[in-house]
Structure formats: C-alpha cells, structure tokens
Structure 1
Amino acid sequence: MRRRTLIAASLALPSLARAQAWMPDRPIRVIVPFGAGGPTDVVARLLADPVAAALGQPVVIENRAGAGGNLGTRAVAQSAPDGHTLVLNAASPLVINQFLYRDLGYDPAALAPITLLTTGPLLVIANPRLPIATMAELVETARRRPGELNYATAGNGTVPHLATELFMQRAGVRLTNVTYRQTPDATQSVMRGDTAVFFDAPQSMQYARAGQVRALAVTTPRRFAAFPEIPTVAESGGPEMSVEAWYGLLAPPATPAPVVARLHDAFIAALARPEVASRIASLGFETVGNTPADFARFMQAEAPKWRGVIEAAQIRIE
C-alpha cells in the first residue's frame, strides 16, 4: 500500500501536467551500466514498452558494463541534457563508488534524478548442510571460528560485499571474502558448500524454497511482503542493519525540469501497470515511484552509511 501511495502521489504532481508540452522527437536510449540479464537490465526492459507507448518513441536499452557501473554512468553524465539519454542505475555508481574510486569521471550528485523505481532486500543465504539456521547461529559460529567461514561476493565494493562488511562490523565477527565474477557464480558457491553464506539478491528465494540454500534473513528493517516468513537480520539474532537493493532513473546534468517531469510521468505510469508491478514483485522487489526531490534525498541519506562502512574496512578500488 505504501508503494502504491507513492506512485499515486507522484502522478498527481502539478509539474507533470505542465510538462506535457515536451515530447521526445527520436528514440530514447536507456543505458544500463551492468550486463544483460541482471535485475537492473530486467527492470529496464520491463518498462521499455509501456514508456515507449506513452512517449511515442522507441525506448532502446543499451548495456554498457564496466568499472563497477562507472562506464555507463559516465556516458550518460557526458550526454546532452535533452531527455533522449537516461541511465537506469543502482546504488554502486550513484552512491558507493565515489568512496571507492579516486576518479569516477563524473559527479553522481550532478545527475538529474527522475524517480526511485524499485527497492528490495538482500537475502542472507547459507549452505543448507551447515549447522547454521539463524543469524544468531552465524554470529556464534563466526566468533568461535574467526576467519574460517567464507562468504561469497560478486565483486569488491558491490552492495552485497559492503552489506556483509556492515554485518561483520556490527556483529564484531570476521568472515573471509571469496570473490566471484557474477552473482549466479556466488550463489552456486553457497549451494556447493564452497562458501558458507552470501548476502544475495532477493531472486535467490527460489533456491531456498527448493531446499538448495537456507534463507536466514532479509537485510531490511521490516519483513518483506514477497516472503513474510523470513525474519529480518535483527529478528534472527543478528545486529540491527538496513540495506536495500534499489534501482533508479536519472538524466544527464542540467536536464530541464519540464523534460524531467515528462519522463517522470511516463515511467511512473509504467510502474503502475499491474503486469509490470506483478513482474517486479516476482523478482523480489517492490515498486516505489517517488518524486525527483524525494529520490535525491534518498540517495543523500544513503551516502553516510556506505562511506562509514568503506572507511572502516579500508576498501579501495584503483
């Protein structure tokens, strides 16, 4: 209900009615700064057709992966602010990477926010053959065997990596990082028993239901509607923590407000379509659809948490 209220409020913004005069005059390119098939890419492709119908121009999804999402984000930051090039992005290039890299080649704060599209928890999964069924048992085992338990990541500086660092800092334990190239590889490592745990994407709930992994907790402060039987980290005996996987839409710096508002209108309407919301829910996410100002405040609020985690763990990517 909260998410639908946000979408309804966004649709009612007076600025959107004034924005109807702007319409694109050629295809809109949405850059996804990650590889094809991942959640960011799936969300982008779900929205492409309804947005194209609303704006009267094709929406072309372009995957431009590299440098932790910096490559594609930089391309949008350097594009003309005319509404025809956008980025559908995640936490790493927008909030986290500024604390990891010496030079991004762009200023995340200069990008024009349009809307926060979706949010969801990370799902803490464990190998089902281990005697670890709760976060309390994970903490207790890690304290008895410091550094012996391995945890999987799909890249240094990613949200799952930093979420695990946040957990370790607050629980006062130390696990050993094993890095894989892609999320599916990291998930498979938990299934095989090569690693003990992984702070995974919510889609891994399908493997938990099949008995291939054990779901210990979600990383959000409240239980998640798609799988309410899974407790939060704190409810399961771990430390208090709040980590969301989220995806938002942004335009190049200095994009005029009427252009931002018209794009906002089209994407919010697409999010509100039942078939889109249903598919997003099946991926383990919730639709949001807030205002550009609210999205900007959301990103600003995320920054101090990740800066603190990165500095405490002394993580740096050259």
Structure 2
Amino acid sequence: MLRYVLKRLAYAAILLLAVLTLNFLLIHVSPGDPVETLAGSMGGMTEELREQLRRQFGLDRPFIVQLGIYLGKVLQGDLGQSYYFNASVASLIWERVPATLLLVVVSVLLAFFVGTLLGALAARRPNGLLSQSVTILSIVGYSAPVFWTGIVLIILFASVWPIFPVSDMRTAGADSQGWAGMLDVLEHLVLPAFTLAFVYLAQYSRLARASMMETLSSDYIRTARAKGLSEGVVLYKHALRNAVLPVVTMLGMQFGNVLAGAILVETVFNWPGLGRLAFDSVLRRDYPTLLGILFFASLMVVVMNQLTDVAYRIIDPRIKTS
C-alpha cells in the first residue's frame, strides 16, 4: 500500500505541474489587460503609470520568462501578489477556504449518503413508488442547472416562505461566538448546500439504485439468503458494500465539478468563499489571484482522486490483493 501511495503521489506532482502550466497559458492568452482594468476602476491612468505597473507585475517580460518565474515561486510556496486587492494571494485564499470547504464538504456528504440510501431502498422494489420517485428525481437533477435551482430557492424562501436567509454566511451584527454563531452559519448554509447537493444527490441515487439491483441478483446474495440471514443483513452488510463502489468512484471523479458548481452557488447566494473570489478575479483580470484559486482547486481534485483510490482499495479487498 505504501509503495502504491508513493507512486500515486509522484504521478500527482507531474499532473499538478502540467495543470499549472496550462492554467498560466490559458489565462495569459485570454482577452483583457489587468492594467487597463485597474485604469478603468481608477477613472483613468497616465501612460507612464501604465508602463510602471506592467514592469511591476512582470507583464513586460516574454511569456516563457513569466512562466518560469511563476513556476519557481509556486515551488517555493509563493502564489504571488494580487493586482486588485494588493495583498498576498495565499492570504486571500486561506481567508476564503473555510467557507468553501464547509459548503463543498456538507454538500458532498449530503449528496453521497442521502443519494446512496435512496438508491439502496429503491432497489428493493424496482417497480415501487420510491423507485419511480428516484427516477423522477434523477431526471430533474440532471436537467436543472445549479444557478437555476438556487434562484428558485431564493424566490421560494425569500418571498413566498421567508424561512431561511438567502445571502451571506452570517447575519450582519449578530453574535458570531459559540453555539449562537454556529447555528447562524448553519442556517445560512441550508439553501446553498442543498442547491449544490441536489444535482449530485440525483446522480448518486440513480447510480446506487442500478448498482444495488445488479448486486442483489448476484449468486453470493442468493447464497446469503439461503443461509437464512435477515434481509437487513443481506442488504446493508453484504450487498451495499459492493454496490457503493461505483458511487465512491463517481464521487471522486466529480469533485472538480462540485468545486466548479460552488462558484455559481457562491455567486448566487453571495457566499464568501473561493467561488465568489474567483468570479470577482475574472471580472477584474486579477491573474495571480485567479491562478492561485485554480492551483488550489486542482490540488484539491488531485488529493480527492488519490483518497478515492485508497478508499476503493480499502472497501474492496480484491483490489488490494490484485
């Protein structure tokens, strides 16, 4: 297992280097000039100041030189300085990471456990009401864009039934300490987390239902039932462990999609996370901040993929043996 993990880490390092290079290339060939964006936000700028800022930002150097300097700084743990915020990119990211991780982790866990449970229950009676409901849920989840779901929830719970807050992470002026502060954050988290989890919950429930139905038709399940084991033991101890493997794989593969969806969700609900920071950085042509966010997102996806591989080998002993 240790040799396997070390090999995967070496592959991950090479992949991250390739992603860093590609991100840098795509951002610098995209239209827009950060200096001109700053000039517009300031209401004008002299040509001398423009040239000074380009030299300060290193934009007057050839692309290869800029890329080499950027990669060297990243290897040293320096993500650069924000053009717009005039602050360290690393500090800007770490300020927003807790909010994004809270939203993403809660959404992923909600989608995984609820979706798997619904799929497992639906597989017991493939033609029953619950199974048909899971099918309808999957269709709706596939069809509804994340931002559309968020807007609908805002309309429902801000105008029709004003139950949950629909903006920010905390109530302005409220006590942010202790249980009161925690409950306030959880109350603000309900709608963004459900919005982000909804589409993946539909996918996981459908996948778990199909996988569970296939597993229940296996020979070892019939043998377990023939031994007189209870239906609960057969379903949740023998069948579910194998049926959940495709869902675990899908969860790891879609972690990057969840992060991408978080950008839209954070924008709709004004959630103060990395997604909102990325959106603002795109509008302001803040290249260092955007590159830092992309690097962090890529790192999270790579780490999640490695953890998925390890979890897969732990859940299924046959993979460990092979």
Q: Same fold (TM over 0.5)?
A: no
Hey, which of these two has a bigger chunk of strand by percent? 1
Q: Which has the larger radius of gyration?
A: 2
TM-score bracket, shorter-length normalisation = under 0.3
TM-score normalised by structure 1 residue count: 0.25
TM-score normalised by structure 2 residue count: 0.25
Hey, which of these two has a bigger chunk of helix by percent? 2
The higher-RCO structure (CA 8 Å, 6+ apart) is 1
